Amino acid sequence: MTSSPSSNAITQRLEKMNQLWERFRGLPKARVCRWLVQEDEKQMINCFIESSYLENSSAADLFIPFYTSCSNAALYSHELIQELEEKINADREALEQEGMFISWEPSTYHFISDFHSFSQHVASAEMVVAVLLPGIITRPFIKWLTCILEDGMPENIRLLIIETHGETKLDELAEAYSELIKTASLDLDMPTAMQQLASAGDPADPGVKFRKAFLELSQAASSKDIAAVKKLEAAPLLIAREQGWIPMEIAVHSLVASAFIGAMQFNEAIKKYDISFALATKIASPLAIQSLFNKGSVHIALKNYKDAGGCFEKAAQLSQEAGDHFQLMEARRMHGFCLVKCGEWEHAFEVEKQALEAAEQLEESVRHNSTLPYLGQSLLELSYRNGDKEEYLLLEEKINSLAGANWQSKLPQQKSVAL
């Protein structure tokens, strides 16, 4: 029996990736596999890794993804090992249920040394592969990798580095270490894959028709072809309206708005978000809040902080009515940000304190992965401006309690605020 087109669209590409990997691992001297990918192929990297974990997978190797970016070559190994520790601790219970008991602990925080010692606890894998996804290839990353190549790697350890076409910065290093680093382009042709997925099913089915039309619109939007976007939006909108699919209609308007933003046509984007908001209010949808956030962000880009503040104030009201404390915190944080930009310091301080009250209602894990550090920074700066040392210290204690003692380390550029 022939496989379905939707199945083939993905499995064929996974098979190509497997073939590229097998070709690389067959080279006895090679230690670093470098894959050049397009932006739309990055999603397939996780699919490749996840598929290798399946019981029916033929993969003989264990792939472990690392997402830590490299800003300091001297610290990168330590940061990677910390990420590995966090992965093991997070998955320990699930691994033990499958009969895998990993007692490994790092000893040197030198990446290859500790990664190799970890590999000794995974006897079922022929090779243990660190898949490095640092986002961008920085100079410190190149320096770190050069040291790794100079030091050498054990037989059962490999690195798989994902690099984006157009941002290729490892060419010189790959040429200098041509036996150790092997480069391949994935060339997965994801637009065709998406077309195959969208076309799966009965061509007369409205859902299939909508998926195909929406995909064509998405591809035009991603290529910043505004003329094509304006032409192609009509088809999915018509289907969504005929079927009464208001959330899908909102999705079309939001996608077109993002295309307008990419083309710097901000006023056109605002019109689309206004339509999205009006539609969302008909069905009491959380999408109404998202439309206000989107519209507010466009006004910020235009430096229309008063109008942006109005959007976030309305979003806060709807979030409170919906009992959504996370969106309430974020809406009030952004409303406060806009008030600061307008010079309304006292009002901003009161609004951001309300945002902090909303943060208190969140689970600890949610707070620690939210924008709370930015709210905390702004609150302390406003409190400092007020000159009330006692209030400042009480506020600082509360923020430390909610966001964690090291919350300022999560800010891209720390600002020291003290009284």
Shared domain check, 397 and 364: yes
pTM beyond cutoff 0.75: no
Q: Does pLDDT of 245 surpass 80?
A: yes
State the average pLDDT over residues 316-330: 95
How far is residue 69's CA from residue 259's CA, in Å, rounded to a whole number? 29
Does residue 419 fall inside a structural domain? Answer: no
Q: Does pLDDT of 198 surpass 80?
A: no
- Phi and psi (nearest 5°) for 304? -90, 75
Shared domain check, 140 and 41: yes
Q: Does residue 153 contact residue 33 with C-beta atoms inside 8 Å?
A: no
pLDDT in tens, 202-232: 888 898 899 889 989 998 998 889 999 999 9
**CATH code for position 202:** 1.25.40.10
Shared domain check, 109 and 224: no
Does residue 415 fall inside a structural domain? Answer: no
Q: Does residue 379 contact residue 350 with C-beta atoms inside 8 Å?
A: no
Shared domain check, 294 and 278: yes
Does residue 416 fall inside a structural domain? Answer: no
Q: Does pLDDT of 416 surpass 50?
A: no
Length of the chain: 419
Give the pLDDT of residue 348.
96
Shared domain check, 265 and 398: yes
Helix (H, G, I), strand (E, B) or coil at 108: coil
Does residue 240 fall inside a structural domain? Answer: yes
Nearest 10 degrees: Cα torsion 362, 363, 364, 370: -50
Shared domain check, 391 and 244: yes
Question: Which of 191, 206, 224 marks a domain boundary?
Answer: 191
pLDDT in tens, 31-66: 999 999 998 888 899 889 988 887 777 788 999 999
Q: Quote the mean pLDDT of the chain.
A: 89
State the average pLDDT over residues 73-85: 92
State the average pLDDT over residues 91-112: 75
Q: Which domain holds residue 286?
A: 197-410
Does residue 32 fall inside a structural domain? Answer: yes
Give the pLDDT of residue 291.
95
Shared domain check, 339 and 201: yes
Alpha carbon distance, N-terminus to C-terminus of the chain: 74
Q: Does pLDDT of 417 surpass 50?
A: no
pLDDT > 70 in the chain, percent? 94
Give the other-Cβ count within 10 Å of 418's Cβ. Answer: 9
Does residue 225 fall inside a structural domain? Answer: yes
Question: Which of 191, 225, 246 marks a domain boundary?
Answer: 191
Residue with tokens 């720390």: 414
Find all residues with CB under 8 Å of 352, minimum gap 6, and list them.
332, 333, 336, 375, 378, 379, 382
Does residue 417 fall inside a structural domain? Answer: no
Give the pair of three-digit tokens for residue 38.
Answer: 């397009």
Give the pLDDT of residue 6.
45
Does residue 373 fall inside a structural domain? Answer: yes
Give the pLDDT of residue 10.
80
Question: How many domains, the chain?
Answer: 2
Q: Does residue 338 contact residue 330 with C-beta atoms inside 8 Å?
A: no
**CATH code for position 56:** 3.40.50
DSSP element (H, E) containing 37: strand 32-37
Q: Does pLDDT of 1 surpass 60?
A: no
Looking at the chain, the number of H-run helices and the number of E-run strands are 19, 5
Q: Does residue 379 contact residue 349 with C-beta atoms inside 8 Å?
A: yes
Shared domain check, 180 and 239: no
Shared domain check, 215 and 162: no
Give the gyration radius of the chain's Cα atoms. Answer: 25
Q: Does pLDDT of 196 surpass 80?
A: no
The residue type at 242: E
Give the pLDDT of residue 356.
96
Question: Which of 191, 216, 241 marks a domain boundary?
Answer: 191
Shared domain check, 277 and 180: no
Shared domain check, 386 and 339: yes
**Which has the closest alpha carbon to 251: 206, 214, 295?**
214
Give the pLDDT of residue 323.
93
Give the pLDDT of residue 99.
62
Q: Does pLDDT of 4 surpass 60?
A: no
Q: Does pLDDT of 96 surpass 70?
A: no
Give the pair of three-digit tokens for residue 320.
Answer: 């409170």
Residue with tokens 């966090």: 86
Give the other-Cβ count within 10 Å of 155's Cβ. Answer: 10
Give the pLDDT of residue 415.
44
Q: Does residue 380 contact residue 417 with C-beta atoms inside 8 Å?
A: yes
State the average pLDDT over residues 92-113: 76
Shared domain check, 343 and 308: yes
Q: Does residue 249 contact residue 217 with C-beta atoms inside 8 Å?
A: no
Q: Does residue 61 contact residue 210 with C-beta atoms inside 8 Å?
A: no
Is residue 376 packed enough to be buried (19+ CB in 10 Å), middle (13-18) or exposed (0-12)? buried
Confidence of residue 414 (pLDDT cuts 50, 70, 90): very low
| Residues pairing with 158 in the sheet | 129
pLDDT in tens, 370-382: 899 999 999 999 9
